[in-house]
Amino acid sequence: QVQLQESGPGLVKPSQTLSLTCTVSDGPISSGGYYWSWIRQHPGKGLEWIGYIYYSGNTHYNPSLGGRLTISVDTSKNQFSLKLDSVTAADTAVYYCARRHGRGYFDSWGQGTLVTVSS
């Protein structure tokens, strides 16, 4: 079973860029049929799908995040990354990386990392 682990700063200042990386182990990120995803959970709330990337670089984002979002992939490091620009307190959440099966469900998840937006 593939393993995923998020990493990045736990505190980001308002208006700055939130950057996270997900390292995938026990399986190549370039295996076909899977899409590498980000999902977040606001404090005390449900889950929100952010977006995903295919190993080829094709992306699909949640429109609710407007033009603030960039997801990229580095197959040589078996990693994919999230950048969210112009953050506000509303972006405070636990961020999960996950593997999306071709049929649309998320079959492997990271443990999640809390990112707090505060000055």
Partner 1 sequence: EIVLTQSPGTLSLSPGERGTLSCRASQRVNTNLAWYQHKPGQAPRLLIYGASTRAAGIPDRFSGSGSGTDFTLTISRLEPDDFAVYYCQQSGSSVYTFGQGTKLEIK
Nearer to partner 1, 80 or 110 (CB): 110
Q: Spell out where the chain has E strands.
A: 3-7, 11-12, 18-25, 34-41, 47-53, 59-61, 69-74, 79-84, 93-101, 106-109, 113-117
- Compute the distance between CA of residue 74 and CA of residue 54 in angstroms, rounded to an integer: 11
Minimum Å gap between C-beta 95 and partner 1 is: 12
Q: Applying CB under 8 A, does 21 fall inside the site for partner 1?
A: no
Q: Applying CB under 8 A, does 47 fall inside the site for partner 1?
A: yes
Minimum Å gap between C-beta 37 and partner 1 is: 9
Collect all residues with Cβ–Cβ distance below 8 Å to 103 and sequence separation of at least 6: none
Q: Which of 32, 33, 63, 67 binds partner 1 (CB under 8 A)?
A: 63
- Compute the distance between CA of residue 40 and CA of residue 87 in angstroms, rounded to an integer: 14
Stretch that binds partner 1, among 18-26, 62-70, 72-80, 82-90 (CB under 8 A): 62-70
Site residues for partner 1 per CB under 8 A: 45-49, 60, 62-64, 96, 98, 101, 103-107, 109-112
